[in-house]
Amino acid sequence: MAEIIAVRDLVKRFGDVVPTVVLHGVTASFDRGALTAVIGPSGSGKTTLLNILSLLESPTSGEIMVDGRDFSTGDINAYAAYRNAHIGFIFQFHHLLPEFTAFENVLIPHWIGRGRPPASVVDKARALMTEMGLGRILDKSTGQISGGEQQRVAIARALINDPILLLADEPTGNLDEETGRQVLALLDRLTRQAGKNTIMVTHSQEAAGYADRVLTLRDGKLVEASSASDETQSGKAG
């Protein structure tokens, strides 16, 4: 299966006087059309790795290729237009803007990158929200809807520009158990049916169970990589 992202010998260090190394030579690839989970204990480097994969931070050294393009060096601020057009973000806290309606929040990435949304994009946003069971809350403020609805609005917002890559940082960490499962099922369906390339950072083994492949980080190092087929074979062996 072709790669959507590949990193090699990735190092991330913070500080000059007393440097702290957060990632130690991470090498990994992320397949197209797959949901990949990155797990590990707190402080293992998961979020830092996700920030580099999403082009929000530059590595100190090493290589990163996204959709065949080299992003290993250069000004990270110069990648803003690429991020907005090609990468969708889902966070633990939805980061919706309270002064806008749910529907307006979904359209914001288009406003930022391309200006006033044409009718086709407005229709797409409405269709996305309806598909996610949000048709009745289009004109509600973000404070008038539930946590699960807020997170689904955030997912619709991440999809509005039809990104090649969907990145989720603890997407169920702020939700109750049942609502979290609904959001995970939605991400799983988007990956399978819409052909999205999804990378999810999580501390939850249950969330990781939805993934095709699981990468485990510990102390900034990749210590294990397993696929759903590996787990199946392991279960058969037992």
Q: Helices in 99-146 by DSSP H: which ranges?
A: 102-114, 119-131
Distance of alpha carbon 132 from alpha carbon 112, whole angstroms: 23
Predicted pLDDT of residue 119: 94
Could you give the 3-state DSSP secondary structure of residue 235?
helix
pLDDT at 234: 44
Q: What total number of domains does the chain contain?
A: 1
Whether residue 63 is contained in a domain is answered as no
Q: CA-to-CA distance for 11 and 26, rounded, in angstroms?
A: 7
172 contacts 187 by C-beta, under 8 angstroms: no
Q: Is 2 inside a domain boundary?
A: no
Q: Which residues contact 44 (CB under 8 A, 6 or more apart)?
A: 217, 218, 219, 220
Instruction: Please say whether the beta carbons of 112 and 180 come within 8 A.
Output: no
Domain encompassing residue 104: 31-48+74-211+222-237
Q: In one letter, which amino acid is 137?
A: I
The amino acid at residue 59 is P
Domain contains 44: yes
d(CA 216, CA 140): 40
Q: Per the domain annotation, does 118 fall within a domain?
A: yes
26 within some domain? no
The pairing of beta strand 165-169 with beta strand 87-90: parallel
> Does 39 map to a domain?
yes
In sequence order, what are the residues at sequence separation of 6 or more whose Cβ sits closer than 8 angstroms to the Cβ of residue 237? none
Residue the block writes with tokens 């999580």: 202
pLDDT in 10s for each residue of the chain, 238 residues: 588 899 999 999 998 888 899 999 999 988 888 899 999 888 889 989 999 999 988 999 999 999 989 998 877 888 888 888 888 888 777 788 989 999 999 999 888 877 888 999 999 999 888 888 888 999 999 889 988 888 889 888 988 888 888 898 888 777 778 878 888 887 888 787 777 789 999 888 888 888 999 999 999 998 877 775 454 344 434 4
Secondary structure of residue 3 in the 3-state scheme: strand
23 falls within a domain: no
Is residue 66 included in any domain, yes or no? no
- CATH assignment of the domain containing 111: 3.40.50.300
* Cα 65 from Cα 4, distance rounded (Å): 8
